[in-house]
Structure 1
Amino acid sequence: MAGMASILAQSPVPVHTTHDVTNQPPPLAPYDASDDTALLEGLRREGAGWAEEDVRRLGLLAGGPEPQEWAELANRHEPELRTHDRYGHRVDEVDFHPGWHELMRVAVAEGLAGAPWADDRPGAHVARTAGGLVWGHTEAGHGCPTSMTYAAVPALRRQPDLAKVYEPLLTSREYEPGLRVPTDKRGLLAGMGMTEKQGGSDVRTNTTTATPTAEDGVYTLRGHKWFTSAPMCDVFLVLAQAPGGLSCFLVPRVLPDGTRNTFRIQRLKDKLGNRSNASSEPEFDGTVAWLVGPEGQGVKTIIEMVNCTRLDCVMMSAALMRKTLVEAGHHVRHRTAFGARLLDQPLMRNVLADLALESEAATTLTLRLARAADRAVRGDAGEQGFRRIATAVGKYWVTKRGPAFTAEALECLGGNGYVEDSGMPRHYREAPLLSIWEGSGNVNALDVLRALTREPATADALFGELALAQGADARLDAAVGRLRSRLGEATQAGARRLVEQMALTLQASLLVRYAPPAVADAFCATRLGGDWGYAFGTLPDGADLDGILGRALPEGD
């Protein structure tokens, strides 16, 4: 036995005794998240070509190993709620992983929060949206507080005295976490507390009360909110019932004298996705708040905020589509099966090309909506009407397409895509949120009907946009005709079908005007012409797959 032990001690133990690792793709990072022809063309076309250098720089950063690692860590190590300190004092703080703070630092510094409101250049809001499309290649959770901060500014402007104090800080590019007196900080983040458990999107059923104090414009709130994300923001816009009806209020976490405002975080939500971001249930009890806008006009005050956050839902869905398409394209470019690269297999090429069509349509619509927002805030009445209806249409459709798109992109990786460390399960869990946040599909579809009924100019603006592509494609012309005939027959039960047709017709009109024939023809043939199956990867035999893929996934890695 002693001799055998001596022999074993001298024999090297092989590291791999059964296999070598082959036919696996290399890591995607580093890559350029801005290497997206549709995005860059749209950036220039929609009036923000001056921002291209910054968008490209941000795209290289987003695709780098370090930000991708921040994203992974921020989702793996979820926020933790601390209700009390060691001595028993109520603190209601949420601790985030350092990766979250790094993501937030970059997002704020790059102007993805409130910065466009302080930028007089035409196209500032388009530039921000393009930045979000590339920085969204990291992760979506931290996009919530940046989006809410962006959206809070126009609502706050309805109370000029408050806007004068807070707007310079909300539009700052300085990220300064931690609860302190807001006016003592270099930059602020804003959140919102709208919904309650008994009503959800039906905010008029809110029961949180607002009681006036002796000081003009100052109230105390009492009640409970059901979904309030990013509770470590500095200030919140909150809806509550004042004597004059449902009203909007500004609630700071820390009061001007340095004391903590009553903002008891009862718990953090255990969510399907968006896990890097804390979503909470705060309780107000004697919470000090400042009135924003007139009493009884809370919904009217926040409507501009909703327009902004809905645009961001479209943007983040489009970013998620593009990210998962890039992941799928990278995998199939480096993986072989049955004697050929997956990318060269005809059926896989069909799947990828179909996904590429959907991604380009989403990106193109997103940037067009951003231009409408940019011009609307500058007083363009026509763009205001288009923005009003098209943002709701885009929010409904693009966010609905996200989950199916992400599932198909995940499947391109096969079993590898179903494993957590591929990153695809995180993207898949993220996708459904964007169709729920800022109004579910039903809420947005009904909002489109409301716009058509109460604001007829919105329909004129939509058809004015569609008319710009008239005569370019017979299938598009026919779709516009069908859409026009159905407007007069719109019913609540048929609202989803109507909005779907509006979305597809609008996307097709944009692609016919701006995309190459390979893209526009395939989109019209399938989405409008009916030459399409129920799943991605059913493009007709005549589709120019090479033209579509060469544009969407250029050979670069």
Structure 2
Amino acid sequence: MERFGPGNTHEVTNQVPPLANYNLFSSDAALAAAVGREGAAWHSEALARDGAALTTPDVLALADLANRHTPELASFSPRGERIDALEFHPAWHTLLSLLRREGLHALPFSDPQPGAMVARCAGYFLHAQLESGSLCPLTMTFASIPVLQREPALFDTLRDKLYSREHDPRDAPLDQKISMMIGMGMTEKQGGSDVRSNRTQAIAEAGGGRGAAYRLVGHKWFFSAPQCDAHLVLARTDDREGLSCFFVPRFAPDGSKNAVRVQRLKDKLGNRSNASSEVEFFDAYGVMIGDEGRGVPTIIEMANYTRLDCVIGSAALMRAALVQAIHHARHRSAFGRHLADQPLMRNVLADLSLETEAATVLFMRLARAFEDTTNAPEERAWRRLVTPAAKYWVCKRTLEFTGEAMEVWGGNGYVEEGPMARFYREAPVNSIWEGSGNVMCLDVLRAMEREPDAAQALLAAWRDVAQTHPALNAALEGLLRALTSAPETREASARRIAQQIVLIAQGVLLAQHAPAFVADAFIATRLGDGCGESGRVYGTLPASFDHQAIVDRAFTG
């Protein structure tokens, strides 16, 4: 028996080395295949370069630093002037610089070419595995571009700053900056997701209308990233006209700080590196975007892009948690064997691996649909119908998924010194932001009612694949029956319908593009007999499936 002296009580053994210096892109077989399949093979080299750069110890440390040292609000200067300044840890700005350097804020618009949206979404997925909070202002900036492009006079003054690949952290008027970020201000205390209940008023300075200057009076209960150089805001010009959309810059035209007062920063469960706030408008300057009274349709276009990023961000959290869990299991021993060599743990890891591959092929297929220019009915259905369903289902799955992956780590996963606790705290936000689960599921039903030709084209395409997979075909027939039920029944079943849409979409994509041992396991356990049971947890795959092959495919690092 080894004897230890004073101050030396034990030897540290069987602890897992930190996961670093692997390639986020080349170690992900499903992602690499999807990049080529969906039209962005030309970007693979850049993705591989970025995938390696993001896992160096120095870069990985940025995520921890940005979340430990959260933003601070200084309402007043030392002289008592109202400044509403925000201070971030330097890690935050480095993260935004990395995102911007890869063009993830604008790539399909600044460098349009076939596959640009797919390339951008794949790159976003890599960075979302590093840190989540820095994605918020980047996503909003990205989603604002197609809206602002419809205002040529305004967009001409913003284009270069929106497309710039250099992050400019200075809090200064736009004419003094190299680049800019755009935020959003939609929800108010009394309404939340029901933005039509908003009461903020906009009063025209002169004639009013599209492109005219207004003064806003009111509040926003959630004002995302208040340090952004401008926000898109909903307000009323007239109770009869409904809501209009306004471009509200951080600085007014005369160079003074615009009258948007930050009341406080939100103390959030997760996404802590990013500032979210409550604000009030005291005759704040804004310019009307789009037609008067058409603010909600104007913003919905922006929301479609942000919802896609919610899907990608959640898929990335699952991927990051899975890779950490597999790495841990391959290095940690218990009861005489590595965890990864124990049959039940292999089952858990294989089940988690199926979930991540299904999420990956889904968001990559959505990315291709978002860059479609033909307006083909099937592509419209992927964008308009599958996107909100995916936003509902993938984001929901991430909550349970990150908890299961944390459990693989045991007690070490529950402490804040490792990444698993942060992943878990990040998981709920994408289910809530840009529309909660019920909002998404009801939006799926509306999309099917408004674009029945698109829905039929999608279902017909799925039927061609499903006919060769009995469980998939049976699930599709069940979905068709649910869609023809009475309206009240459909609404009450909206979550079940959205869930089935996503699972069938994932099953079809895996049947088309994944190895049979992946596709068959997913379809059998997500769509086969008994899979509607609410009590199913990860790690319940039948023993007949090749768990080891599924795990090895998931992470080759």
Q: TM-score range with shorter-chain normalisation?
A: over 0.9
> What are the superposed Cα offsets for residues 268-299 of structure 1, whole Å, 9 maximum, x if unpaired?
00001000000001110110000000000001
> What are the superposed Cα offsets for residues 330-378 of structure 1, whole Å, 9 maximum, x if unpaired?
10100010010000000000000000000000111011111111115x6
- In 2: Cα distance, 1:26 partner to 1:382 partner: 47
Paired letter, 1:48 = A
Q: In the alignment, does 2:280 pair up with 1:283?
A: yes
Paired letter, 1:36 = D
Partner of 1:242: 237
Say whether the 8 Å CA contact 1:386–1:461 is kept in structure 2: no
> What are the superposed Cα offsets for residues 161-189 of structure 1, whole Å, 9 maximum, x if unpaired?
22222233212212111222223322111
Paired letter, 2:321 = T
Say whether the 8 Å CA contact 2:377–2:454 is kept in structure 1: no
Say whether the 8 Å CA contact 1:239–1:247 is kept in structure 2: yes
Partner of 1:548: 550
- In 2: Cα distance, 1:487 partner to 1:379 partner: 24
Change (3 A) 1:304 1:113: same
Paired letter, 2:499 = E
Quote the offset at 1:205 in angstroms: 0.3
Secondary structure of residue in 1 paired with 2:371: helix
- In 2: Cα distance, 1:180 partner to 1:220 partner: 21
Q: In the alignment, does 2:296 pair up with 1:270?
A: no
> What are the superposed Cα offsets for residues 467-487 of structure 1, whole Å, 9 maximum, x if unpaired?
352333111111111111211
Partner of 1:423: 419
Choose which of 215, 234, 238 in structure 2 pairs with 1:220: 215
Paired letter, 1:356 = S
Query: Which moves more between the two structures, 338-347 or 480-489?
Result: 480-489
Say whether the 8 Å CA contact 2:518–2:550 is kept in structure 1: yes
- In 1: Cα distance, 2:319 partner to 2:461 partner: 25
Quote the offset at 1:488 in angstroms: 1.1
Say whether the 8 Å CA contact 2:377–2:455 is kept in structure 1: no
Alignment of 1:78-97 (within 5 A): 78-97=70-89
Name stretches of at least 5 consecutive residues in structure 1 with no aligned partner. Answer: 1-12
Q: In the alignment, does 2:473 pair up with 1:460?
A: no
Paired letter, 1:308 = Y
TM-score normalized by structure 1? 0.95
Quote the offset at 1:138 in angstroms: 1.2
Partner of 1:60: 52
Quote the offset at 1:379 in angstroms: 4.7
What percentage of aligned pairs have identical amino acids?
52
Change (3 A) 1:88 1:15: farther
Say whether the 8 Å CA contact 1:451–1:458 is kept in structure 2: no
- In 2: Cα distance, 1:393 partner to 1:19 partner: 52
Partner of 1:27: 18
Write out the 4+ residue segments of structure 1 that deviate beyond 6 Å after TM superposition: none
Partner of 2:175: 183
Q: In the alignment, does 2:156 pair up with 1:164?
A: yes
Query: Which moves more between the two structures, 486-495 or 191-200?
Result: 486-495
Partner of 1:103: 95
Q: In the alignment, does 2:321 pair up with 1:324?
A: yes
Paired letter, 2:121 = T
- In 2: Cα distance, 1:191 partner to 1:458 partner: 32
Paired letter, 2:102 = E
Alignment of 1:489-508 (within 5 A): 489=485, 491-508=490-507
Partner of 1:6: none
Q: In the alignment, does 2:400 pair up with 1:408?
A: no
Quote the offset at 1:461 in angstroms: 3.7
Partner of 1:470: 466
Say whether the 8 Å CA contact 1:237–1:250 is kept in structure 2: yes
- In 1: Cα distance, 2:493 partner to 2:156 partner: 45
Partner of 2:9: 18
Choose which of 114, 122, 135 in structure 2 pairs with 1:122: 114
Query: Which moves more between the two structures, 337-346 or 538-547?
Result: 538-547
Say whether the 8 Å CA contact 1:154–1:305 is kept in structure 2: yes
Paired letter, 1:262 = A
Secondary structure of residue in 1 paired with 2:465: coil
Q: In the alignment, does 2:227 pair up with 1:232?
A: yes
Q: In the alignment, does 2:518 pair up with 1:519?
A: yes
Say whether the 8 Å CA contact 2:107–2:117 is kept in structure 1: no
> What are the superposed Cα offsets for residues 91-133 of structure 1, whole Å, 9 maximum, x if unpaired?
0111110000000001011111123212221111111110011
Partner of 1:198: 190
Quote the offset at 1:531 in angstroms: 5.8
Paired letter, 2:39 = G
Quote the offset at 1:193 in angstroms: 0.3
- In 1: Cα distance, 2:214 partner to 2:96 partner: 32
Quote the offset at 1:15 in angstroms: 7.2
> What are the superposed Cα offsets for residues 519-547 of structure 1, whole Å, 9 maximum, x if unpaired?
00000110000366611000012111122
Q: In the alignment, does 2:356 pair up with 1:359?
A: yes
Secondary structure of residue in 1 paired with 2:466: coil
Quote the offset at 1:212 in angstroms: 0.7
- In 1: Cα distance, 2:530 partner to 2:366 partner: 28
> What are the superposed Cα offsets for residues 481-509 of structure 1, whole Å, 9 maximum, x if unpaired?
11112111152111101111111111101
Partner of 1:301: 298
Say whether the 8 Å CA contact 2:431–2:437 is kept in structure 1: yes
Change (3 A) 1:123 1:304: same
Say whether the 8 Å CA contact 1:218–1:290 is kept in structure 2: yes
Choose which of 251, 256, 260 in structure 2 pairs with 1:254: 251
- In 1: Cα distance, 2:460 partner to 2:121 partner: 24
Partner of 2:130: 138
Partner of 1:510: 509
Query: Which moves more between the two structures, 516-525 or 178-187?
Result: 178-187
Query: Which moves more between the two structures, 180-189 or 283-292?
Result: 180-189
Query: Which moves more between the two structures, 51-60 or 463-472?
Result: 463-472
- In 2: Cα distance, 1:76 partner to 1:30 partner: 23
Say whether the 8 Å CA contact 1:116–1:171 is kept in structure 2: no
Query: Which moves more between the two structures, 92-101 or 458-467?
Result: 458-467
TM-score normalized by structure 2? 0.95
Say whether the 8 Å CA contact 1:399–1:431 is kept in structure 2: yes
Say whether the 8 Å CA contact 2:378–2:455 is kept in structure 1: no
Name stretches of at least 5 consecutive residues in structure 2 with no aligned partner. Answer: none
Secondary structure of residue in 2 paired with 1:257: coil
Say whether the 8 Å CA contact 2:483–2:490 is kept in structure 1: no
Secondary structure of residue in 1 paired with 2:245: strand
Quote the offset at 1:261 in angstroms: 0.7
Paired letter, 2:227 = M
Secondary structure of residue in 1 paired with 2:490: coil
Paired letter, 1:336 = S
Say whether the 8 Å CA contact 2:441–2:498 is kept in structure 1: yes
Quote the offset at 1:215 in angstroms: 5.9
- In 1: Cα distance, 2:57 partner to 2:464 partner: 43
